[in-house]
């Protein structure tokens, strides 16, 4: 499967906030499957911290190089301050997960990000999945991933549907994606009883349903 083609423009510059390598899988996926996207800095925050951080600003640099921030911070004080910090600099911050953070864009998973013009090339290429499928003799003969999860699960899972009939592919896709998904399976929504892992499987299934309806 080929990457999405984009017109020649300046690369999207991304800064990553992480703790203990928490963003490494996403960084790897972006480097492999992204086009004209450059991770210009990865800022590693300490993992051993007090429960309450009185002055989170001391952990942040005065300035960052990126035009977009991906946050994989775990400590709530760092996460909240990171959103404020980015807002002050006029930079969008994406922080995937079940928690809603004021000032940040918070899809439940990396494959739950809706398209937003302000997110540039990253927003065009990563988020709610989109595919183009070709059928031959009632079976999948070609799949192009147009948009997918930054962890790479979309690009890795979809080839496993090759030569499947539509019904078989719809039965398989959620399981294949969930096997590769980096979301925390223990992070359940107490209202719906669903986890980010369920969400990832469902959103890929819905994308496949749409692609099959449009298949040639």
Tens place of pLDDT per residue across the chain (216 aa): 444 444 445 679 999 999 999 999 999 999 999 999 999 999 999 999 999 999 999 999 999 999 999 999 999 999 999 999 999 999 999 999 888 999 999 999 999 999 988 899 999 999 999 999 999 999 999 999 999 999 999 999 999 999 999 999 999 999 999 999 887 666 655 555 568 888 999 999 999 999 999 997
CB atoms under 10 Å from CB of 123, counted, come to: 20
24, 86: one domain: yes
CB atoms under 10 Å from CB of 114, counted, come to: 10
111, 151: one domain: no
Is residue 7 included in any domain, yes or no? no
Q: Which CATH number do you get for residue 65?
A: 3.40.50
**Would you state the structure tokens that stand for residue 94, as one six-digit string?**
């994406």
102, 136: one domain: no
CB 73 within 8 A of CB 17: yes
Is residue 204 included in any domain, yes or no? yes
Question: Rounded CA gap, 75 and 193, in Å?
Answer: 24
Q: What is the pLDDT of residue 28?
A: 96
CB 19 within 8 A of CB 74: yes
88, 182: one domain: no
CB 209 within 8 A of CB 170: yes
The domain in which residue 93 lies consists of: 12-125
Smallest Cα–Cα separation from 179: which of 211, 204, 162, 207? 204
Q: Which CATH number do you get for residue 202?
A: 3.90.1010
120, 32: one domain: yes
Domain end, chosen from 125, 145, 173, is at 125
Domain end, chosen from 93, 125, 157, is at 125
Question: Rounded CA gap, 53 and 46, in Å?
Answer: 12
Is residue 2 included in any domain, yes or no? no
Q: What is the pLDDT of residue 6?
A: 41
99, 16: one domain: yes
Is residue 3 included in any domain, yes or no? no
In the chain, the number of structural domains is 2
114, 151: one domain: no
**Would you state the structure tokens that stand for residue 53, as one six-digit string?**
């951080």
Domain end, chosen from 125, 158, 183, is at 125
111, 40: one domain: yes
């Amino acid at each position: 499967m080929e990457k999405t083609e984009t017109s020649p423009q300046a690369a999207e510059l991304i800064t990553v906030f992480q703790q203990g390598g928490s963003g490494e899988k996403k960084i790897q996926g972006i480097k492999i499957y992204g086009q004209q996207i450059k991770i210009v800095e990865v800022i590693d925050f300490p993992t051993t911290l007090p429960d309450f951080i009185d002055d989170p600003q001391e952990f942040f640099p005065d300035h960052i190089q990126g035009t977009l921030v991906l946050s994989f911070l775990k400590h709530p004080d760092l996460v909240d301050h990171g959103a404020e910090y980015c807002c002050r600099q006029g930079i969008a911050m994406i922080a995937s997960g079940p928690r809603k953070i004021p000032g940040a864009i918070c899809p439940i998973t990396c494959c739950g990000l809706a398209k937003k013009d302000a997110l540039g090339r990253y927003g065009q290429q990563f988020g709610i999945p989109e595919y183009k499928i070709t059928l031959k003799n009632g079976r999948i003969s070609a799949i192009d991933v147009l948009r997918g999860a930054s962890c790479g699960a979309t690009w890795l899972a979809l080839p496993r549907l090759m030569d499947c009939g539509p019904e078989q592919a719809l039965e398989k896709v959620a399981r294949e994606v969930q096997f590769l998904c980096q979301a925390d399976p223990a992070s359940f929504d107490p209202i719906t009883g669903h986890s980010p892992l369920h969400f990832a499987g469902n959103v890929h299934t819905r994308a496949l349903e749409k692609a099959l309806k449009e298949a040639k």
